[in-house]
Structure 1
């Protein structure tokens, strides 16, 4: 017989989103995602869509159906009273349990002395693992499989991270951010990504690795824009840019402005044919190459800011 779940649609006031997510992750409920409400607009070309940035957010919780729907809803409403009316139940829907076969695509991988693994990994597989970074990819890019991510992690394992202020541009699901947080980087480690889904997934993975939420500061947006760059820390000892060759060059003004004297930068997402352009741009800006790794056509470069 097919297992059924209850899907709860909630309205969440934006100013308590962080608190709500943190408490739900520690609750018996499964958090799906949170997103702005979408409004359908009528235009002369037909229809268009827009985010309602002033109203409450829409959140989705899931729970396996074990009792009557009325009993489940009563318990949920009691759970929601802690937010004093800032989280309300909008809709309840019965849905079939999702097939977990997609999880087979995301398997554990060893990178240097560390393993990157999703939380559903068989514990026996990691029984002898010395270090494990728990990463569920979700809707944000970042599984640990890509050569660029692996090469950055290998460089990080060679560096002294403890006490360093770290800025991770293109954080995705938070692999590099959380590695630094787990290895003693100064709190918070700054995680920046243009994908709004990254924020939720980094929070999930922060909890997966038993780190406090204050271990990471998440910024969503394009750091090439002043309004986003102005939200960042003033100086970082280590900056990670794992996006792409052209993007690495585009980030150079922000990197130059935010890097501390003698700071280190790891540039990745570069391909063989634009390696020289990236390297030349950073050398002209006062950086010197301190190491280089290659995975197929992908290039990762460790650079140091000249004093």
Structure 2
């Protein structure tokens, strides 16, 4: 498309949620530009290419960004952000959350944004409000956040199959947003503008903190002499995750949920000796677990009192 014609939304999905036109049977319909070639941008660009769209330009500075672009977007030139926008009907802004407002304001101020251009960011924190400068310049705003951790390798494109996307869009662009997500292999979940920060906090607690907890567990197992902690934890954590997704708080188990105050006290003593930096996180998670176990009637009041005393003493003794 040229500058005189606004970008047209992708085809609407057909029955069952999928696009009713196969990518192999249609020409590329949108030229795609990607501002930011971290782990997310190249994967989404590659997925859009598989769906029949045409990545035409990307921006990236670091050597790692250039390697990712070369692997996932071969033949796509790396240029500065304003040049990315110049040739694209759909622009993906795949930059860190804190960078996004200034980037959008700067692109709009320099006249890089075109009338009718689809501008989509992938931040979980923001909705479309952050794109207001681009909207004033005539752009069509979308917030498309893939609920997935990315490695920066081709496996990311495969993992998009069935991946949820947190989507925020004006009513008139909901069909376009839905079609783009489905074409990338994902499933749209509509998130209200004002709910975006809470939605993002929920995902950070679940995914980001999980990595930290698993890392701590593996460190302690190595300290205790286990040679392959990942083999020991794999089945256990897989079962725990499956149980929690299926049964919620009914899946709570372990010494805190049972009210085994003596065991928890021993844990705290061992951590204080061998891994004092982990005491705070153990206490925080144990208190949160106790609260949920009490609220759901899993932890008897008489056992909860002694357990909470141990946790309180553990906090004061650090």
Q: Please report the TM-score for the alignment, with normalisation by the length of structure 1.
A: 0.33
| Larger relative helix fraction | 2
Greater Rg over alpha carbons, structure: 2
Q: Please report the TM-score for the alignment, with normalisation by the length of structure 2.
A: 0.32
| Larger relative strand fraction | 1
